[in-house]
């Protein structure tokens, strides 16, 4: 069974740090790019970050750039999100999600695309509060 299980969500004070983990099983982990997506309470989905199959390319939403770092350990089938300088607005349910492929170049547009997210975990909750 293809599965993603997130962990590491806790209550943390503003300015604090946290590392989320996502354990993958049931598929060849290092064949796919991986995402983090978050959802604030009662709000919509917000894309946070993506990492390529080998960890060589990473992308971030402007709202977390410079504060969050995505990484992966293919030997452990695991994805991570290091979150620093946390703010109240980072309070959310954090999902990891598997892409259906890896990053590819769109030559005509000089951009990079992926394929969409076909597997999602159940999420881990991060609360930033004093």
Partner 1 sequence: VIWMTQSPSLLSASTGDRVTISCRMSQGISSYLAWYQQKPGKAPELLIYAASTLQSGVPSRFSGSGSGTDFTLTISCLQSEDFATYYCQQYYSFPQGFGGGTKVEIK
Q: How many residues of this chain interact with partner 1, rule: CB under 8 A? A: 27
Cβ proximity of 37 and 47 under 8 Å = yes
Contacting partner 1 within 98-117 (CB under 8 A) = 100, 106, 109, 111-117
**Closest approach of partner 1 to the CB of residue 130, in Å:** 27
Residue pointed to by tokens 């999100």: 81
From CA 60, how far away is CA 51, in angstroms rounded? 9
SS3 label, residue 88: helix
**Bridging pattern class, strands 124-128 and 11-12:** parallel
Structure token digits, residue 76: 């452990």
**Closest approach of partner 1 to the CB of residue 46, in Å:** 7
Contacting partner 1 within 23-82 (CB under 8 A) = 35, 37, 44-47, 50, 59-62
19 lies in the site for partner 1, by CB under 8 A? no
1 lies in the site for partner 1, by CB under 8 A? no
């Amino acid at each position: 069974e293809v599965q993603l299980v997130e962990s590491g969500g806790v209550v943390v004070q503003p300015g604090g740090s946290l590392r989320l983990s996502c354990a993958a099983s049931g598929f060849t982990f290092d064949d796919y790019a991986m995402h983090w997506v978050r959802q604030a309470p009662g709000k919509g989905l917000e894309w946070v970050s993506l990492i390529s199959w080998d960890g060589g390319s990473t992308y971030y939403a402007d709202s977390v750039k410079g504060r969050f770092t995505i990484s992966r350990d293919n030997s452990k089938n695991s994805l991570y999100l290091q979150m620093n300088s946390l703010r109240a607005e980072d309070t959310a349910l954090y999902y990891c999600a598997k892409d259906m492929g890896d990053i590819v170049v769109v030559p005509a547009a000089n951009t990079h695309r992926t394929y969409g997210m076909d597997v999602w975990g159940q999420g881990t909750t991060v609360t930033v509060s004093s």
